[in-house]
A and B are shown apart, each in its own frame.
Chain A
Amino acid sequence: MELVNVLVFGLVNSAVLALTAMGFSLTFGLSGVANFAHGGLYLLAGYTSWILANRLNLPFAVSAVLAVILAALLGALIYRLVLMPVRGIVLSEVIATFAVGVAILELFRWMGFVTYEFNLRPFVKGSVEIAGVAVDYQRILIIGIGLVLAAGLWYFTRRTRIGLALRGMAQDEYTALSVGIESDWAAALSLALGAGLAAVAALSILPLGIISINIGYDVLLIALAVTVLGGLESTTGLVAGAFILGYAMTFTSTYLGPQWMEAVYMAAIVLVLAVKPSGLFGKSKELEERV
């Protein structure tokens, strides 16, 4: 019973982590930009959907679609306005996007989105019993969405022409130019796709609780943790990282006590990286192998 509980919710937690980090990982894999505005975009989508549904009384589905589109547009805009002038200076990219993310989050705080009333509707209500453990449909849906998106992402970057070209560009711009893709356009697209994925994640995960601003900061940390553990640019790594952390958390929480959850989580990252510095599935950038 307890084991079933751990297995089921470990899976749920892994899916939540994977979904949360997916947008960040995609953007990094396609354009090499570490988008530290990820958390800001995530919450932006959540709040936008809430405002549209509760203030303008739009149907939930419409509000969700609009929120995803808005996040994607903003992602592209961030590239155009903020990232393009500092393209290639990694530190400036990180700081600029981090500042954008914090600005988004704190703008919502200033506008008074700090109270406890921001609740997104789950896609489906109710729960079902799996081997004696009751799980709600929303969590099962999260697993499903996570799986579908991860598979889609893998297919997109490995099998489609445009995906391959985009990925090629992250390594070598000439290749991409020869396929006829303009570098800036592609990078903007990768930011937009990443932001869109962040929005999808927000709309499926946020209904589990209520929306609050500090979640935005946590989301960025989760995205970093998962992708670093798995290897920054790899979809397989993303899934592996999410599973390791998700189950590590659930196991720790059940058998060691929840207060150890984050300590174990952090220790796992530090340990993995100390042994395999570029993450589980990342391309190694160690000295020995560059010679």
Chain B
Amino acid sequence: MVKRGYRKERLDRGIKARSDDIFAIASWRETLYLILPRAAVIVSLLAFPLLKDVLGHYWQNVMLITCTIALLALSWDLLASVGLVSLGQALFFGVGAYLAGFLSRTFGWTPLLTIPASTVAGALLCTAILFPVLRLRGIYFGLITFALPLLMMRMIEATKILGGTEGLSGLPPLPDITFELYLVITAALVCAFGFKRLMDTDYGLVLRAIRDNDRSVLASGINIQWYKAQAVFIAALPGTFAGAFLTHHYQFVGMPAFALDFSILPLTSVVIGGAGTFAGAVLGAFILVPLSEVLRAFGTLRVVIYCSFLIIFTIGLPEGIFRFIERKYHQFERVVPLEEVRA
């Protein structure tokens, strides 16, 4: 039997920066081709705060939360590239948030001091908390991290420390919304590009190797626990920063800082956007958070619709949106006549 017809053929444009192979950029056109997507994202994000009169206070706030979730998603993605699948990003967020609240309440520091301090100290604290369970793998690590924020919440509830169920309110605010926006957008961009760059260095290679095959890494004379701890520290930084930042934005910190949403949203962002790319994590957050805001119009039905979207995305594009777009950008399709196929 002979079939005739046409098929689509995909071709790679063959221009990629920083691939594993040796590459050369030949022309301005190709340079532009590589830089344009990145530049477009950076410029439009940095231009966002300037549009405050057009978009209004509400969307600026949405932007803040989106960036916060994006930071947590980036943190998740970095952890995952060492093979640690976290179901408890709220731990980072909550620790950062409470530290900022504690520092400004106890010592009266300004937010400009508490945010960096609680970012670093919080990341150290999170690393210390997670250190004993770093040897857990796969879903077990995930379930422990799932339990930790809940445990923190219960501890605060039971011991009544740090304001107990009431939380700490009336904390000092940041200067103004434009400043806040630039701060959080810069943080997200620095993390996204910084993490990507980090994973391309030899250090990042070691981290990825730990995920793929820890036995060989161990036999290569590298202390896995130590590197995992370093990765947790680095990954905790954006999370604790996000917590400290939102604490001062809302001038309030309470038990909901450890809320499940801060664990689930970043995770779903990464899954929607595509794991392992960092850009995917950010993209996912920029789809999910505004989507959830738009869906508010549906009242209590909102969550149902939101979940339906989530299911559709996970089933329809398991590789993530970012990889899909990346592929489309780097490849072009053309229709070619089908050769004769004998079946």
A and B touch in the complex (CB under 8 A): yes
- Complex contact B303–A106 (CB within 8 A): yes
Complex interface bits, A272-291 against B, C-beta within 8 A gives 1, otherwise 0: 01100111000001110011
Interface flag for A109 (CB, 8 Å): yes
Interface flag for A89 (CB, 8 Å): yes
Complex interface: chain A residues within 8 A of B157 (CB)? 259, 262-263
- Complex contact A277–B147 (CB within 8 A): no
Interface flag for A151 (CB, 8 Å): no
Name the CB-closest residue of B to A256: B158
Given the known interface contacts A82-B315, A91-B85, A263-B158, the answer about A273 and B140 at a Cβ–Cβ threshold of 8 Å is yes
Name the CB-closest residue of B to A265: B154
Q: Which of A99, A109, A263 contacts B310 (CB 8 A)?
A: A99
Q: Which of B271, B300, B314 contacts A106 (CB 8 A)?
A: B300
Interface flag for B47 (CB, 8 Å): no
- Complex contact A86–B147 (CB within 8 A): no
Complex interface: chain B residues within 8 A of A45 (CB)? none
Interface residues of B in 279-313 (CB under 8 A from A): 299-301, 303-304, 307-308, 310-311
Interface residues of A in 207-224 (CB under 8 A from B): 221, 224
Interface flag for B148 (CB, 8 Å): yes
How far is A92 from B150 in the complex, measured between Cα atoms in Å?
23
- Complex contact B133–A232 (CB within 8 A): no
The minimal Cβ–Cβ distance linking B80 to chain A, given in whole angstroms, is 9
Interface residues of B in 135-156 (CB under 8 A from A): 135-140, 143-144, 146-148, 150-151, 154-155
- Complex contact A100–B307 (CB within 8 A): yes
Interface flag for B214 (CB, 8 Å): yes
Name the CB-closest residue of B to A288: B135
- Complex contact A273–B136 (CB within 8 A): yes
Complex interface: chain A residues within 8 A of B268 (CB)? 95
Main secondary structure of the interface of B (DSSP, over half): helix
- Complex contact B311–A82 (CB within 8 A): yes
Q: Which of A92, A277, A279 contacts B314 (CB 8 A)?
A: A92
- Complex contact B133–A263 (CB within 8 A): no
Q: Which of B132, B148, B158 contacts A259 (CB 8 A)?
A: B158
- Complex contact B215–A290 (CB within 8 A): yes
Complex interface: chain B residues within 8 A of A269 (CB)? 144, 147
Complex interface: chain B residues within 8 A of A277 (CB)? 133, 135-137, 140
Name the CB-closest residue of B to A271: B132
The minimal Cβ–Cβ distance linking B303 to chain A, given in whole angstroms, is 4
How far is A273 from B144 in the complex, measured between Cα atoms in Å?
8
Name the CB-closest residue of B to A97: B311
The minimal Cβ–Cβ distance linking A11 to chain B, given in whole angstroms, is 24
- Complex contact B132–A110 (CB within 8 A): no
Interface flag for A21 (CB, 8 Å): no
Interface flag for B267 (CB, 8 Å): yes
The minimal Cβ–Cβ distance linking B216 to chain A, given in whole angstroms, is 11
- Complex contact B146–A287 (CB within 8 A): no
How far is A107 from B308 in the complex, measured between Cα atoms in Å?
11
- Complex contact B139–A34 (CB within 8 A): yes
Interface flag for A103 (CB, 8 Å): yes
Name the CB-closest residue of B to A40: B307
- Complex contact B137–A270 (CB within 8 A): no
The minimal Cβ–Cβ distance linking B283 to chain A, given in whole angstroms, is 16
Complex interface bits, B265-278 against A, C-beta within 8 A gives 1, otherwise 0: 00110010001000
Complex interface: chain B residues within 8 A of A91 (CB)? 85, 267, 271, 275
How far is A286 from B143 in the complex, measured between Cα atoms in Å?
15
Complex interface: chain A residues within 8 A of B267 (CB)? 91, 95
Complex interface: chain B residues within 8 A of A278 (CB)? 140
Interface flag for A4 (CB, 8 Å): no
The minimal Cβ–Cβ distance linking A186 to chain B, given in whole angstroms, is 21
The minimal Cβ–Cβ distance linking A109 to chain B, given in whole angstroms, is 6
Complex interface bits, B195-227 against A, C-beta within 8 A gives 1, otherwise 0: 000000000000000000011001000001000
Complex interface bits, A255-271 against B, C-beta within 8 A gives 1, otherwise 0: 00001101100110110
The minimal Cβ–Cβ distance linking B285 to chain A, given in whole angstroms, is 15
How far is A225 from B151 in the complex, measured between Cα atoms in Å?
12
Complex interface: chain B residues within 8 A of A109 (CB)? 300, 303
Interface flag for B49 (CB, 8 Å): no
Interface flag for B318 (CB, 8 Å): yes
Given the known interface contacts A91-B271, A106-B303, A277-B133, the answer about A270 and B314 at a Cβ–Cβ threshold of 8 Å is no
How far is A231 from B311 in the complex, measured between Cα atoms in Å?
28
- Complex contact B154–A102 (CB within 8 A): no
- Complex contact A263–B318 (CB within 8 A): no
Q: 6 nearest interchain CB pairs?
A: A266-B151, A103-B307, A106-B303, A263-B154, A99-B307, A99-B310
11 contacts between A and B (CB under 8 A): A82-B311, A92-B271, A96-B311, A103-B304, A103-B307, A267-B151, A270-B151, A273-B143, A274-B132, A277-B135, A278-B140
* Apart from A91-B85, A263-B151, A278-B140: 13 A-B pairs, beta carbons within 8 A: A82-B315, A85-B315, A89-B318, A92-B271, A96-B315, A100-B307, A103-B303, A267-B151, A273-B136, A277-B136, A279-B140, A287-B137, A290-B215
